[in-house]
Amino acid sequence: MRAVDIIMRKRDGKELSREELRFLISGYVAGEIPDYQISAWAMAVFFQGMSAAETASLTEVMLHSGAVMDLSGVTGPLVDKHSTGGVGDKTSLILAPIAASLGIKDPMMSGRALGHTGGTLDKLDSIPGYRTSLSAAEFKHILITDGFAMTGQTADIVPADRLLYALRDVSGTVESIPLITASILSKKAAEGAQALVLDVKYGSGAFMKNPADAEKLARSLVDTWRAMGKPIAALLTDMDEPLGKMTGNFLEVEECYDCLAPEAATSHASLSADLMEVTLELAARMAVLGGKAANAAEGRALCEQALASGKPRELFMTNIASQGGDVEQFLSMRGNYRSPHRAEIAAAADGYIARIDAWKTGHAGVVLGVGRNRTEDPVSPTAGIEFHRKRGAAVKKGDPIMTVWGKDQASLEAALPRLAEAVEYSPAAPAERKLILKEIG
């Protein structure tokens, strides 16, 4: 085989075989095929697309470009959840202990913040002593004992994805749905997931800005995972506004702990109600795919019963200890672990809050120190935002909307105008926000 022939076949809209894809990807990982040829192939994929079978072949070739988690001996079902990213999206930290309380094992390999979207590992790193770099043996042991484990992608897991991700970023092919699909699913398969629940987001704070594009991505993910012989479900969810009442690293962990309180399942007045609605619907699908419920309604009821029992919160705390965290110190930090650089955003007019723009809020968060623009940038555990009022709230000019903490005074002052601009007002109450648009799969 020659790389140029494969590139030309894809350029002309032909479907590539698994052997051709293996030749390209293994050659690239080995340093035998140069960046410029893989860039040309990626651009051909961008314009010509891939069939579900072709995307599944690419996913499996990427999966086997490095090590795969050996979870033999772990009594399943092994079900994970993946989100395409958003602002205030912390559902993983709540649903993993809920699923574990039902007897489902959740092997969770997560990422870090990049751009305006938050990273699960950065949130967990804000817990004193908590380790997100686990050996394969540690990951497996904690998964068995706690029912879920949280780790990052190691250097030997799907190396093809790290190389391709960096190349897509500089070659104008980031938005290619087949390449996004293979990137997500190769990592999920490598971590050992047998079934998968997807939270595919749309809106200003999401990667896909409109429902139609989000649905295209969701259908590609569903069709590809099924072509690999695995069960899957996907929800299209709204990310036009931040999820929950906190954005930040420790702030979001703190909110997750509060959301695991027994009364959280039935509390609809809380500013975390939107977060809990999305979390419980995702957890309900995990219950179905894990064989614990016949349908989503039954799964949701099981998850609410589990929350009411207090067991998920106990598992959350057990996992903190299992991964090296200091439980007592974490509890003592609740409500106190904040940057000294603090300010308030007040309502600019009488009326109702019509919307708090997620994209503007997320980018203000990067300025505050919550996220990063480059992978090597540090993040602040104590920066973030607490919302006191959200969409639909009636306000008078001067009412507090949010409290803001920055990593330093300059960051705080730079972020405040962006956050003020993110809040939109209307003279009448806005329509109720539809959090979940539809289910696919």
CA dihedral 215, 90, 418, 271 (to 10 degrees): 100
Residue 408 lies in a domain: yes
CATH number of the domain bearing residue 373: 3.90.1170.30
Contact (Cβ atoms closer than 8 angstroms) between residue 42 and residue 165:
no
Residues 284 and 179 in one domain: yes
Residue 274 lies in a domain: yes
Return the pLDDT at 269: 61
Number of domains into which the chain is organized: 3
Residues 318 and 392 in one domain: no
Handedness of CA 139, 140, 141, 145 (dihedral sign): positive
**Tokens found for residue 45:** 């994929």
Residues 325 and 418 in one domain: no
Return the pLDDT at 116: 79
Q: How many helices (H) and strands (E) would you count in the chain?
A: 17, 13
- For 355, the domain range is 341-426
Residues 320 and 347 in one domain: no
> Tokens 């039935």 — which residue?
266
Handedness of CA 91, 97, 103, 106 (dihedral sign): positive
Residue 91 lies in a domain: yes
Active site residues: 82, 161, 168, 183, 187
Residue 70 lies in a domain: no
Return the pLDDT at 265: 63
Contact (Cβ atoms closer than 8 angstroms) between residue 138 and residue 339:
no
Return the pLDDT at 212: 96
Residue 435 lies in a domain: no
The arrangement of strands across the sheet holding 400-406 comes to 246-248, 384-387, 400-406, 341-346
d(CA 116, CA 332): 29
**Alpha helices for 264-384 (secondary structure H):** 273-289, 296-309, 311-322, 327-333, 358-368
Per-state percent for the chain, helix, strand, coil, to nearest 5: 45, 15, 35
CATH number of the domain bearing residue 41: 1.20.970.10
Nearest to 181 by CA among 167, 204, 164: 164
CA 209 remoteness from chain centre: 16
Residue 55 lies in a domain: no
Return the pLDDT at 394: 97
Residues 85 and 117 in one domain: yes
Residues 293 and 398 in one domain: no
pTM of the model as a whole: 0.94
Residue 294 lies in a domain: yes
Residues 136 and 16 in one domain: no
151 forms beta bridges with: 109
d(CA 204, CA 180): 19
Residues 392 and 324 in one domain: no
Contact (Cβ atoms closer than 8 angstroms) between residue 183 and residue 161:
yes
Per residue in 103-140, is it b (16+ CB within 10 Å) or e — as a string?
Answer: ebbbbbbbebbbebbbbbbbbbbbbbebebebebebbb
CATH number of the domain bearing residue 114: 3.40.1030.10
- Mutual angle of helices 159-171 and 177-190, in 10-degree steps: 160
Residue 67 lies in a domain: no
Residues 275 and 386 in one domain: no
CA 360 remoteness from chain centre: 18
Per run of 10 residues, the mean pLDDT along the chain (length 441 residues) is 97 97 97 96 97 94 92 92 93 97 95 79 95 93 96 87 86 90 93 95 93 96 94 97 96 96 73 95 98 98 96 98 98 96 97 97 95 83 97 97 98 98 97 95 79
